[in-house]
Amino acid sequence: MMRKILFWLAVLAAALMFVFLGWAFSQHGTIGLVTVNGTFQKLFIILGVLGLVLLGLALFEWRLQARKQKSTTNILSTAVRILTVLGIAIFVFGFFYVGIIPGPLEAGQTPQLLIESGSGINGVPNMAVTYRTPKPASDTLIWGSDASAVTLKETTPAREHIFSLTNLHPDIRYWYQINLGQKEYFNSLPAAGEPLHFAITSDAHFGSGDSQNNLTEEMLQQIANPANHFNLLFSMGDLVEHGFTDSQWQQALQAVSAVTENIPTKYAVGNHDTILGGLNRWETYCDPAGIPLQNGTQLYQRFDDGNVHFLVIDLEWSAEDFNSAQSAWLEQQLAGIPKDDWTIVIGHGFYYASGSIVDGWKWYDNKETTDKLTPIFEKYGVDMVFSGHDHQMELLQKSGVSYVIAGTFGGALDPQRTYTSPESVWYSSTNFGFADVTINGNTADLVFRAPDGSVINSFTIPKN
Ligand SMILES: [Fe+2]
């Protein structure tokens, strides 16, 4: 009887290893993870091999025991028992730690002012105030300016709250107030032709043991400071180390709320945000499904402020998510933008870059992204393309397109490059920081800033 139970336990453990693998590969981003990250690639292969070995050994042991060959089965049995325990332990780890069954989403959350896709009727984008409450509630939001106010009431109790602020006028000081609580103030984006000032940040990696999130908080203070007049914030991915760990999201959202409550914000998705089931959390916290969509999807979309057009794209590990649907959407959007307007692409993964080889993958000039995307950028005269992923600052230029790697917003700095991209104009891997950009007429001022706000380097980028 015991023999039978142990045999079926071994079969169950092997099956659980395959269930874990199957689940992992059904998750968004896993193909990119194993393509780029040699460590995960080896881990998944080892897991698959262990599952097969366990199954094979258990069957072999069963046959030997049936023939009563005791001396051989003792060693075999020990191996099968060890692998059985390991298989079950891996599954339990996956179940509870990685979140095959997702843990609860964050109970409470500070409101964020997110930029909606498309544009409003006055040439500036609509905004959405989003937050989550610990329990379902029907909330009320009042918003307006000195001139007028609008009351928005929810009719159905929910934990996720989304209030869309539409028909905004350019460069007006507005306020919003939830359930008659404290008034929060924000400025709508400037009118066409007026200077537009934004911060581009990437790779804060909250939750990683080697990230310096005290510096992230210092930079957020710089961006939040009204004296610095930032019109909007981009967070370009890898906000957290493990997208499946809710506590990391809570830590990150708490920190960024210093900015996102009052400065219009747009998130792009990064490979760490969506890792092993993290996509659900990224979408919930960074671009909830209920926000009206004028184009694209939750993961990639365009918004327009006057004659400046932003295309926020989904480029995580490499170009694995740049599928035909996203490519067609990108080309369709770019084709409709007037040549004299500014076109700016924002996404996590890089194209041209200096760097080095890590875990067997070249963290520099990425042939997959340069082959698939840069011909599109060149064809439509894209002006600037921002990315992160590489934890460094770099400006590269090719065929009129300026590529900017915005610096790390707290994640550990990359090692000094061993490869220099032929397109590189300037490179630094010794500074944390972010990119500060002002579009003004036919030029863009690009400033790489350190955590204390000081200038590391600056460039004037002409319109392409
Ligand atoms: Fe990163």
List pLDDT tens digits, range 290-321: 999 999 999 999 999 999 999 999 999 999 99
Tell me the domains of the chain and their CATH numbers: 2-98 (no CATH), 112-125+193-462 (3.60.21.10)
How far is the centre of ligand 1, averaged over its atoms, from the C-alpha of 349 (Å)?
A: 9
pLDDT score of 7: 86
- What is the per-residue pLDDT for 181? 93
CA–centroid distance, 316 to ligand 1, in Å, is 10
CA of 357 to the centre of ligand 1 (A): 15
Which structure tokens are listed for 422?
A: 């032929």
Q: Within 10 Å of residue 176's Cβ, how many Cβ atoms?
A: 24
Residue 272 Cα to ligand 1 middle (Å): 7
pLDDT score recorded for residue 48: 92
DSSP string of 289-351? Answer: TTS--SSS-SSSEEEEETTEEEEE----SSSTT--HHHHHHHHHHHHTS-TTSEEEEE-SS-S
Does the pLDDT at position 277 exceed 60?
A: yes
Q: Averaged over 207-221, what is the pLDDT?
A: 97
Quote the percentage of the chain above a pLDDT of 70. Answer: 96
Q: Which strand (E) or helix (H) includes residue 435?
A: strand 434-440
The pLDDT value recorded for residue 73 is 65
- Select the more confidently predicted residue: 244 or 402: 402
- Does the structure show a pLDDT above 90 at 131? yes
Express each pLDDT in 261-276 by its tens digit.
999 999 999 999 999 8
Which candidate, 284, 291, 269, places its Cα nearest to that of 126? 291
* Candidate ranges 80-84, 109-113, 342-346; pick with highest mean pLDDT: 342-346
Tell whether the model's pLDDT for residue 14 goes beyond 70: yes
Average pLDDT over residues 409-415: 97
> What average pLDDT does this structure show over 71-88?
82
Centre of ligand 1 to C-alpha 238, Å, is 5
Q: pLDDT category, 101, cuts 50, 70, 90?
A: low
Q: What's the 248 CA to ligand 1 centre distance in angstroms?
A: 14
What local confidence, expressed as pLDDT, does residue 334 receive? 98
> Is pLDDT above 80 for 113?
yes
Rounded to the nearest whole angstrom, what is the distance from the C-alpha of residue 365 to the centroid of ligand 1? 16
C-alpha of residue 389 to centroid of ligand 1, in Å: 5
- Alpha carbon distance 425, 448 (integer Å): 13
Determine the Cα angle at 255 with ends 153 and 124, to 5°: 50
Question: How would you list the strands of the sheet with 384-387, edge to edge?
Answer: 301-305, 308-312, 342-346, 384-387, 401-406, 393-398, 424-428
β-bridge pairing 384-387 and 424-428 = unpaired
Helix (H, G, I), strand (E, B) or coil at 362: strand
What pLDDT score was predicted for residue 26? 87
- Residue-level pLDDT at 331: 98
Q: How far is CA 325 from the centre of its chain?
A: 19
C-beta of residue 26 within 8 angstroms of C-beta of residue 33: no
The closest of 262, 246, 251 to 217, measured between CA atoms, is 251
CA of 172 to the centre of ligand 1 (A): 35
Residue with tokens 């609008």, as numbered in its chain: 150
Report CA(390)–ligand 1 centroid distance (Å): 7
Distance 127 CA to ligand 1 centre (A): 27
Beta-bridge mates of residue 186: 174
Q: Which residue has the tokens 């967070």?
A: 235
How far, in Å, from the CA of 101 to the mean position of ligand 1? Answer: 25
Please give the mean pLDDT across all residues of the chain: 93
Q: 97 CA to middle of ligand 1, Å? A: 21
Average pLDDT of the residues in 336-348: 97
Cα–Cα–Cα angle for 246, 247, 250, rounded to 5 degrees? 90
Residue 104 banded pLDDT, cuts 50, 70, 90? low
Mean pLDDT (whole number) for 161-177:
96
Quick one: tokens of 93?
A: 């780890």
* pLDDT, tens digit, 9 for 90 and up, residues 347-386: 999 999 999 999 889 999 999 999 999 999 999 999 999 9
What's the 431 CA to ligand 1 centre distance in angstroms? 15
Nearest to 426 by CA among 382, 457, 380, 383: 457
For 227-250, what is the HEC assignment? HHCCCEEEECCCCECCCCCHHHHH
Percent of the chain with pLDDT over 90: 75
Q: What residues have a C-beta under 5 A from ligand 1, the ion?
A: 203, 238
- Rounded to 5 degrees, what are φ and ψ at 248? -70, -40
Q: How far is the CA of 59 from the centre of ligand 1 (A)?
A: 44
- CA–centroid distance, 307 to ligand 1, in Å, is 31
Chain centroid to CA 97: 20
pLDDT score at 92: 82
> Ligand 1 centroid vs 202 CA: distance in angstroms?
8
Q: What is the pLDDT of residue 457?
A: 98
Residues 19-29: tens digit of each pLDDT: 888 888 888 88
* 437 φ/ψ angles, rounded to the nearest 5 degrees: -125, 135
Is residue 106 scored above 70 in pLDDT? no
Per-residue pLDDT at 227: 96
Cα–ligand 1 centroid distance for 203 (angstroms)? 5
Q: What is the pLDDT of residue 103?
A: 58
